[in-house]
A and B are shown apart, each in its own frame.
Chain A
């Protein structure tokens, strides 16, 4: 697992209070991890904070699974 993937999963576990093994790449924040719409807004903010990156609203709307977040950040975070 990449460093980014690890950090993403850690944030998801902390914010949603879910077990780490549930946080797979295909896990949907709302359907699988019990998040509501406000939780997802806060998750995106937490990713922005952790990776010092801005995630525009239209991009944020496409991030619905853990894998989506990892993919976006791997592409947009300076190594």
Chain B
């Protein structure tokens, strides 16, 4: 199979618009959480979220800069975030296919967990109050999950595979893994891949709260709400945003002198076959998923330097931790593993893509981002969970985990590429 490397990065997160601002604030230990002000939350059990900072200032997200206002009006925000992250990634990779030959080997695979749920909510009310004649012709195309890929494809002339992934909180990781496979198998030479999510609305907060998945004990102290592995954690804090990478066949990247961030060396998938929202308690699904990624990569667990955990700040954190301990055995003491959801919250379908980018940046800068709010670990572990402060260390091989509702698991492995 052909080798696949990462040549471009883009993201919009609760820490800002862009990779640089997000990474800088993440390493500084800043949190993107705050009380939700955009709509009424007084009757919701969870009243906090990690929202994208909006505005035209440095590092802030200005939607008009990425998509014309008249187009924004037609779509849910997850499509606007995807457009922003994709443009950033393509600019970063300096890949702007203009010839037909370049366009047909360039594809897009951006997923989302719950897509246009906010717009579906609004249109449902309109249908009930005003009748079917008031439903816009843009209602369906502006809510469909694969329209993130559709819009990006049209904007950048990407005429290769045009695909989307929907696997709840594993979406972003599956999108990058599947896209890498398309390149490896020769379906494309370049893929724009990732995930996007815009879930901060009353309906989503009510729904996830009903699943008993959300943090409810920190409504008055939002930045302390997301606290993976800490004994006082009580659910995840929802986040919004998008992460997109440009993946490229190795020789294609070398031939045009592209900067190579890392190589996608492994991709593992598994199913729990256990419960619709809870992970299997023995962590078997997570274990097999990571093991499959290592096998594909042709490496052993002792080769791992850093793991970006799924770590949602729920009871499932310990299940993943035990699965990682089982995977790495005696090498546990040499591994750092953190949950960046402690800073940006849980971006659902975008989480796996944003966290894959953090893992790649960990290789570039030889630093493990911190797990915030880890004051009192709920269990002992020989693994370094990088509490509170980023850790400078040697990082050559990383693993990024994502696990989703439906018992769907994905792990991505990346390795430094020597120039």
Binds A, one of B12-20, B130-138, B373-381: B130-138
Whether A41 touches B133, Cβ cut-off 8 Å, given contacts A15-B70, A17-B68, is no
B257 at interface by CB-CB < 8 Å? no
Which residues from A are CB-within-8-Å of B298?
A: none
Q: Which residues from 17 to 64 on chain A have a C-beta closer than 8 Å to any C-beta of chain B?
A: 17, 38, 41-42, 45, 48-49, 54
CB B373 to nearest CB in A, in angstroms, measures: 45
A16 at interface by CB-CB < 8 Å? yes
Interchain CB contact under 8 A, B137 and A38:
yes
* Alpha-carbon distance between A49 and B70 when the two chains are bound, in angstroms: 18
Interchain CB contact under 8 A, B136 and A42:
yes
Which residues from A are CB-within-8-Å of B141?
A: 38
User: Binding site of A, secondary structure by majority: helix, strand, loop or mixed?
Assistant: helix
* Alpha-carbon distance between A21 and B75 when the two chains are bound, in angstroms: 27
A-B contact count (CB 8 A): 19
* Alpha-carbon distance between A63 and B241 when the two chains are bound, in angstroms: 40
Interchain CB contact under 8 A, B138 and A45:
no
- A45 contact from B68, B69, B70, B134, Cβ within 8 A: B134
- B138 contact from A16, A38, A48, Cβ within 8 A: A38
Which residues from B are CB-within-8-Å of A42?
A: 136-138
> Interface range on chain B: under 10, 10 to 19, 20 to 34, or 35 or more?
under 10
CB 8 Å contact bits of B56-96 with A (1 = contact, 0 = none):
00000000000011100000000000000000000000000
* Alpha-carbon distance between A41 and B137 when the two chains are bound, in angstroms: 7
* Alpha-carbon distance between A1 and B141 when the two chains are bound, in angstroms: 36
* Alpha-carbon distance between A14 and B141 when the two chains are bound, in angstroms: 20
CB A66 to nearest CB in B, in angstroms, measures: 17
Q: Which residue of B lies closest to A41 (CB)?
A: B137
Q: Which residue of B lies closest to A37 (CB)?
A: B137
Q: Which residues from 120 to 141 on chain B have a C-beta closer than 8 Å to any C-beta of chain A?
A: 133-134, 136-138, 141
Q: Which residue of A lies closest to B69 (CB)?
A: A17
CB A57 to nearest CB in B, in angstroms, measures: 10
CB 8 Å contact bits of B374-409 with A (1 = contact, 0 = none):
000000000000000000000000000000000000
Q: Which residue of B lies closest to A36 (CB)?
A: B137
- A48 contact from B68, B69, B133, B137, Cβ within 8 A: B133
Which residues from A are CB-within-8-Å of B70?
A: 14-17
CB B148 to nearest CB in A, in angstroms, measures: 18
**Given pairs A41-B137, A42-B137, A49-B134, 13 additional interface contacts (CB within 8 A):** A14-B70, A15-B70, A16-B70, A17-B68, A17-B69, A17-B70, A38-B137, A38-B138, A38-B141, A45-B133, A45-B136, A48-B133, A54-B133
Binding site for A on B (CB under 8 A): 68-70, 133-134, 136-138, 141
13 inter-chain pairs at a CB distance below 8 angstroms, sorted by A residue, are A14-B70, A15-B70, A16-B70, A17-B68, A17-B69, A17-B70, A38-B137, A38-B141, A41-B137, A42-B138, A45-B134, A48-B133, A49-B134
- Listed from nearest, the 5 A-B pairs whose CB atoms lie closest are A17-B70, A38-B137, A41-B137, A42-B137, A42-B136
